[in-house]
Amino acid sequence: MADRITVGHLYPNAIPPAAPAKRVEPNTGQLPAGTKSFQDVFRDSLVRISHHAGLRMQQRGIELKPEQLAKLSSAIDKAAAKGAKESLVLMDSMAMIVNVKSKTIVTAIDGDAMRDNLFTQIDSAVIL
């Protein structure tokens, strides 16, 4: 079986042909118009926690797991699609006020503190 088989690009007992060289354009540091850099896409996909919300979460013993953050991110995207700006998100016996545009948790409240409370300056609510 010393014959060269070219069907399906199989080359037993032979070295496959080298791929033709592609011309690589020099990197100018600028992206084509209308494209986002990896850093921009990564930053836009993250849910951030403000300093105030971080303190409240620490005080109230609220901890967000990765799957909760994924749900929250999805809820924020849905709220953004509807034109929301400041949204109340109710999830797993906690409430969070979220700035939709920046995907930032502004404050967080646990289930006990949520009772008999009034939420102001929101334009939408998402219940998960």
* pLDDT band for position 116 (cuts 50, 70, 90): confident
Residue 75 burial by Cβ neighbours in a 10 Å radius (0-12, 13-18, 19+):
buried
Q: What integer is the mean pLDDT of 106-128?
A: 90
Tens digits of residue pLDDT in 11-48: 555 555 566 666 666 666 666 666 666 555 555 568 89
Residue 109 phi/psi, 5-degree rounding, is -135, 135
**Side chain identity, residue 63:** E
